[in-house]
Structure 1
Amino acid sequence: MRTRKSNRNKRYTIEKYDFENSEDEQATPPSRVQKADGRNDDEFDVAAESEDQDEAIDAESSHSDTTASEGDAPKAQPRQRPRTAKPPKPKKGAASAITSATAYVSIEPASTDSPLGKGYSGLFDRGFRGLALVAAWYGPEEERIQKGQEALNRWVEWALLPPKDIAGPPGSNSGSFWSASSQDHENLPFQTWLSRLNSDQSSRTVLSGLTAEYSRPYLLNAGSLPVLLGPHDDQVEFSITAGDSIGLTSTGLPHNSNENVDEFPTGWMFDTGGLVLNLDWAQQRDVDAVQLLAIAVVPHIDQEVYTYDEATSGPDFQMQGTVQIWALQGRRTEKDTIEPSNQRPRLQKTLCLYGGRVKIVRWSPTCRHLAILSGGTVHVVDPGEDENGAYQEIQQPIASLSITEEDVKATTLTWVTFNRLAIGYSDGSIALWSIYPACLLSRHPVHHSPVINIESGYPSLPYLVASTPIGGFVKIVDLRSPSLETSEAGVLSVNTIPNLLAYSDHLLGFYALSPTSNVLNTMIGFMHHAHFPIVRRVFTSDRFVTSLSIGRTHPHLLVGTTDGSLWAMNPQLELFQGRRDLSDRIRVLQHEHRPAENFPPGSPASERGVSRIIQGFKPEKNRHTKLEPPGKKKKGKGKGGEEDAEGDEVTGHGDPSRGIVHEPLTRITAVKWNPNHGYGTWAAVAMASGLVKVLNLGLEDMEE
């Protein structure tokens, strides 16, 4: 097939269109100017092969017939460059001839006042602080502004840790901060739904006890782990094995309840025997109920160096999944607060699943249903009653949620309501599931890489879901209208660690690893749900961040790092106070671990190594002097003499010396505040060595 000569070499002229006068556009259509000796498309290659000549003759004859039939049409004039007529000037006082949707409208360009050259145009400026920021986030209704100011005034005096007496007597408030009766509204539909679920025999959880022989593949490391506890200058050695627990005093030493029954521990420590990937507290309506802590544990050998081809040749490679459920008992004090009791934590049972390692566990926000992510499938089960540490295999869950039509696996999950789960998948999509009856309600293509973190805005904004992919943008989606209510933080980020996304019901926003282009910039940022693209910095770490948690009954933040440090602070002070007012933070504890290969055979540390926990650090400032690259001039002063640091919200220079490699089992793997009222100051901290500490971090009243 030969191309037309006219298509091989064409020349065009740019025509000027007049959108102000539609009559000219209809009367004089735009013409195309070709070469002076160019031929029409119907006459191309007339001197070619004989078989093409007939087609050219037919085309010419049809063209001449059409011209003759027109009659009154003027004869064709020689081709020349057309003249563009000037549009007529509109009369004074008259409206424009056309105001259609095709008309161009001039808009102002985005502001580029930032020293980094970034433009932003929004409802409020990055420099907003104090009451102006409260009005921008929670306004324009005066009632919501007062509510936001109340949340700020309530906690402004507690810069490091929350008070023990948070909101009156334990159990006095069962709802959220913004909607105190949110759980009461869903109580009636929940009871109706639960009665239908319990009446269906085919949807009940079926557990079967495992004998010693069948439970052997699910056993974790049973060796002893020496731990150094107490003040840094006077530590004592204590040995602990998997399944054991001890009480701790305020100085971090082991508590012996037999010496003095009037002295109570301030926390506990127990050994899981493996690597904790995730943990979660069960929601309890009864203030005197036993607190349940579900822990996803995998063997340490999963993250050791091994030959992948040889290890994966067997059919049972990493197919055993375990979930430990620990019970912790509190006691009422004379001040009507709840603190740890003399009863040590007990391992109630170990749930076993064959199908893959358990990576995430999440309790239902309304009842005792536990969602377990194992092998790319989400199982919802009722763990049942206490079994004194027995190993039980899940034979039949309430529901098993998976997409079998495609080769995708579930990677993360979050509860939306008592009968709704939002699940992130390896293809970047997010699905909304119904538990009973088990069915897929909707699925949305949100990311282009696997979703690693997902969090719901329950209880105030349950269907508002924020998610973080391995590589891409942090996005927020309203599952009630996913095609409309979608936003994202406009800076690419790389996230390879879970447990780095949390929702704050006090501030109605999400905390996450701040999107940044600097690999050494380890910052935690806050994104308000109504202004999600604007990231406000709240925490900057000297080491890489591994986990975070925000309180449900208070707004305080816990952050774990790779050097084994656990940090605590009140992020409200960093968000709302002036830029010159530096907020405080405190290192609650620091965990260190030395592996077993560093010790001679036969020593107490030759089985699992040795760990050390240090506490008693002083508070320090949350922000430090910004490190400038060599040879770069300092920034000038902005308006009002204040340093112009607008770009510090999402970016910053990194010090290469901060890139220190620590022992893998030193890091903090997961941290979680207790969401129940009366227990809101209890925090569970998991370390990679297998230890879990539960501390009551509440402070006494300032006046006392």
Structure 2
Amino acid sequence: MPARRSARATGPRIVYTEDPFQSAGISDGSDGEARTPKVKGKRARKDDSASDEEFVAVSNEEVDDAMEDDEQEGETAGNDDEVSGDGDDMEIDEIGGNAKRAATSHPRFRKRHRDGTVAMAADQTHSRGIFDPKEHVSKSMHYTLAFGPDERDMIAAIYVRDRWTRGLDSTFPSRSSLEQAWEGPDYRYGPNFGVDPDDVQTERTRGWNWYYDRDLGERFRKRQRIETIKETEARRVYLPPKKENHTVLLGPVDNQQPFPLAHHESLDFGEAWGERKTRDPRDEETHKIREGWILNLGHRVLCKAWAPHQDGLTQYLAAVTPITDEQKKDYIPPEGESSSFQPSQPYPSALQLWEFKGKKSGTYTNTLDMNTKPKLRLVLCSDWGDIRRIAWCPVAREKRDEDEEEAEKTIGLLAGVWGDGKLRVLDIKVRRGSEETEFVKVHSPVFEAKPPSTVCTCIAWLSPSDIAVGCGNGFVAIWSIVPSSEPNPHPYFYYPVHESFVLNIASAYPAHPHLITTISMDGETRLWSIIDPRSDSVSTVRMRLASPHLSYSPMLQSFCANDENDFARVLPVRRFFTSNTIGKLPSSISTLAPCSFWHPFIMYGGTGGEVMATNPLRRLLYPKEQLCQQMWFTHDWSQGPVGSSGVSRFHEGYQAEKQSLARNLVGENRPVSVTITTIYDEGTHVTALAWNPNRPCAAWASAALGCGLVRVEDLAM
């Protein structure tokens, strides 16, 4: 083993002295020459050149004097003839001037702003990073780092803080907060998440002019060709077959009751709970402890979404249930099933649109109407493979006279990714005043596109006419759905953002629609700009096991996702390279509810049947704030007799609990190198979650399970 050597300099130490004879100009040298004067606080030089190891100790007053000397350097250089004194004095002045200039050029003496940042010159581009908001910064500085210095972002954050940081809103939205969100000052940019109100109104009106145009709009709507089919054909080919009743156990833990639930039937699970007394003596109606609906769709739900911009009492929920493996055997070729990187076989598939009724519960909010059962309103059938992703257009549309003149009611534009790898957009409409279920088959949509040599994997709306699509080869494509003369539309943006399969994509709409976040199969989560994707790009911590769950919260100005350790996290747009943990599930996270525009609550679902909700706003405003999380319900499923849908059991009534996010607690005996993952039955999984995007029904939540059940409940407390 080599010997350790000291890093100290060898040789005799330099001694600094003050010689009075030298100050008087008298030298004791034998050759009669004067020594080189020494300056206090400076090492002796071996030559006239400055060394990198020199250090100058000066006071603040000397630094100020040196800065003044630098400003007058030009004048001094031009008056050399007027300088008086002998050669020794000149040498002392030059050495002292160099020492002061060396002190002022040191980084610790650079000019700084009031917040402590270095005042960079216009021609300097070097940056040493930004402050860590968790250490040694004020609250005002933390707001700036988390939300940005622009007043629009800051006002939007203050608007949310003043309405959603009360203790009652720690896990689920309260009805009082939902009511108060309509009242009080709006801070101009607050309700629009930092967007100017005039721009929002322009997007609601002029942004949809192409849809109502006599030329473009008419050609756009005529592209969609549908025909009515018989109910027997739709249920035999495009929907999963009927099974025996699904048994559901509901009620208090010590007194649960079984309820049979038939295929495509609904159940009021409030029947298993008793009635509660209201505090308002004027309220004559009786209310149950819990109110909500459970639907039996007969098979695993792949995806679902509430229809936006429905301000009335009628709400629509779109859900997708694929056909069973037995039904697919007739379409599988002899060589076997294709992979996710290639188009699948043209399996039959169907999109179900369910109708729910609400009733007034407050001045501005609605609750579920338990006297009117939900019904299947529309079934859209197609032969393009399984429907893997659906997304309603989130951009609001101002109602016009043309909408009321049509015989059908327009629900909205729905984009989807089918198994054949194509992106399609459907214009969803239902007949006015009809009480029967409509069964139709779609032959061609209003828009259809496919990237070259790959398949579409995920979608995100950017505007009323632009859609971003993730691809199987790591590219991202953006199309405009406005009709053009080209038979096969080409994307106007096509860029390799990742090197592998894009799992999910989300846009920072409406404040920053040009900023897009994508998650790839290689574990990379990247935020980039459409304007310059090569330069304007940043990544967060890479995951070993990629997770496809991603959504943007306009209220939090952050992207919501999860990591490989089953922790829920938020990624602020201004600090995307860091993540804030906001919760943890006891099982692997299997789904994430798209973030709402009307409250900041985040909801996650797990493979163990748990649904957890929390409000991460406090953590963003105050990094050391303690958060709470609460279970909505937990679900267990067991297989029943052959031909039945099985038995499901719900546990509910959980209390809010403080989050314990520490991975290694002090004093806890844990195996260090052992990782345990519990595998649950597919019927137990939570496969899809969704908040209602409409303001009067913002507290309505729906959860889909692997056994085919869908639970809808108003969670406003």
Between 120-129 and 216-225, the greater mean CA deviation after superposition: 120-129
Give the equivalent residue in structure 2 for 1:155.
Answer: 164
For 2:535, the aligned partner's letter is L
For residues 133 and 691 of structure 1, what CA distance do their matches in structure 2 show? 44
Compute the displacement of 1:262 (Å).
5.8
One of 402, 416, 419 as aligned partner of 2:462: 416
Compute the displacement of 1:131 (Å).
4.7
Compute the displacement of 1:421 (Å).
0.3
Closer, same or farther: CA 247–184 of 1 in aligned 2, 3 Å: farther
For 1:513-564, what per-residue CA distance to the aligned partner results, in whole angstroms no more than 9, with x for missing partners?
Answer: 13xxxx5x11122111122111111112221101112322010111101100
For residues 193 and 268 of structure 2, what CA distance do their matches in structure 1 show? 33
Closer, same or farther: CA 205–318 of 1 in aligned 2, 3 Å: closer
Is 2:432 the partner of 1:407? no
For residues 382 and 566 of structure 2, what CA distance do their matches in structure 1 show? 36
One of 336, 356, 372 as aligned partner of 1:343: 372
For 1:689, the aligned partner's letter is C
For 1:163-195, what per-residue CA distance to the aligned partner results, in whole angstroms no more than 9, with x for missing partners?
Answer: 224454898899633337353120222331111
Is 2:372 the partner of 1:355? no
Between 609-618 and 620-629, the greater mean CA deviation after superposition: 620-629
One of 321, 334, 339 as aligned partner of 1:297: 321
Is 2:239 the partner of 1:219? yes
Structure 2 counterparts to residues 148-187 of structure 1, below 5 A: 148-157=157-166, 158-168=169-179, 176-179=192-195, 181=197, 183-187=200-204
Give the equivalent residue in structure 2 for 1:523.
Answer: 567
For residues 250 and 574 of structure 1, what CA distance do their matches in structure 2 show? 38
For 1:666, the aligned partner's letter is T
One of 348, 360, 370 as aligned partner of 1:320: 348
Give the equivalent residue in structure 2 for 1:613.
Answer: 650
For residues 231 and 327 of structure 2, what CA distance do their matches in structure 1 show? 26
Is 2:302 the partner of 1:277? yes
Give the equivalent residue in structure 2 for 1:112.
Answer: none
Is 2:607 the partner of 1:562? yes
For 1:60-80, what per-residue CA distance to the aligned partner results, in whole angstroms no more than 9, with x for missing partners?
Answer: xxxxxxxxxxxxxxxxxxxxx
For 1:335-390, what per-residue CA distance to the aligned partner results, in whole angstroms no more than 9, with x for missing partners?
Answer: 44210012111111111121210011111113500112102111101121147333
Is 2:709 the partner of 1:685? no
Secondary structure at 2:491 match in 1? strand
For residues 716 and 201 of structure 2, what CA distance do their matches in structure 1 show? 28
Secondary structure at 2:430 match in 1? coil
Structure 1, unpaired ranges of 5+: 1-86, 96-104, 109-119, 634-652, 700-704
Q: If the length of structure 1 is used for normalisation, what is the TM-score? A: 0.71
Give the equivalent residue in structure 2 for 1:49.
Answer: none
Is 2:258 the partner of 1:234? no
Secondary structure at 2:163 match in 1? helix
Secondary structure at 1:183 match in 2? helix
For 2:162, the aligned partner's letter is N
Structure 2, unpaired ranges of 5+: 1-46, 52-69, 78-104, 109-126, 277-283, 398-411, 484-488
Between 262-271 and 408-417, the greater mean CA deviation after superposition: 262-271
Closer, same or farther: CA 622–90 of 1 in aligned 2, 3 Å: closer
Is 2:312 the partner of 1:288? yes
Closer, same or farther: CA 142–271 of 1 in aligned 2, 3 Å: same
Secondary structure at 2:237 match in 1? helix
Give the equivalent residue in structure 2 for 1:194.
Answer: 211
For 1:424-452, what per-residue CA distance to the aligned partner results, in whole angstroms no more than 9, with x for missing partners?
Answer: 00001111110112541111110111111
For residues 159 and 658 of structure 1, what CA distance do their matches in structure 2 show? 31
Closer, same or farther: CA 180–695 of 1 in aligned 2, 3 Å: farther
For 1:200, the aligned partner's letter is R
Secondary structure at 1:481 match in 2? coil
Compute the displacement of 1:454 (Å).
0.8
Give the equivalent residue in structure 2 for 1:429.
Answer: 475
For 1:266-294, what per-residue CA distance to the aligned partner results, in whole angstroms no more than 9, with x for missing partners?
Answer: 3211122221111111111x521521111
Compute the displacement of 1:484 (Å).
3.1
Closer, same or farther: CA 571–192 of 1 in aligned 2, 3 Å: same
One of 531, 536, 543 as aligned partner of 2:587: 543
Between 299-308 and 681-690, the greater mean CA deviation after superposition: 299-308
Is 2:277 the partner of 1:248? no
Compute the displacement of 1:630 (Å).
10
For residues 147 and 353 of structure 1, what CA distance do their matches in structure 2 show? 43
Is 2:546 the partner of 1:495? yes
Closer, same or farther: CA 559–487 of 1 in aligned 2, 3 Å: same
One of 517, 536, 549 as aligned partner of 1:485: 536
Give the equivalent residue in structure 2 for 1:588.
Answer: 632
Give the equivalent residue in structure 2 for 1:505.
Answer: 554
* Number of residue pairs matched by the alignment: 552
Q: Is the 8 A contact 1:544 1:562 kept in 2?
A: yes
For 2:237, the aligned partner's letter is P
Fraction of identical pairs, as percent: 22
Closer, same or farther: CA 463–302 of 1 in aligned 2, 3 Å: farther
Closer, same or farther: CA 334–411 of 1 in aligned 2, 3 Å: closer
For residues 151 and 456 of structure 2, what CA distance do their matches in structure 1 show? 43
For 1:321, the aligned partner's letter is S
For 1:159, the aligned partner's letter is S
Secondary structure at 2:424 match in 1? strand
Q: Is the 8 A contact 1:666 1:689 kept in 2?
A: yes
Compute the displacement of 1:658 (Å).
4.8
For residues 360 and 501 of structure 1, what CA distance do their matches in structure 2 show? 13
For residues 391 and 144 of structure 1, what CA distance do their matches in structure 2 show? 46
Q: Is the 8 A contact 1:449 1:472 kept in 2?
A: no
Between 147-156 and 541-550, the greater mean CA deviation after superposition: 147-156
For residues 508 and 626 of structure 1, what CA distance do their matches in structure 2 show? 27
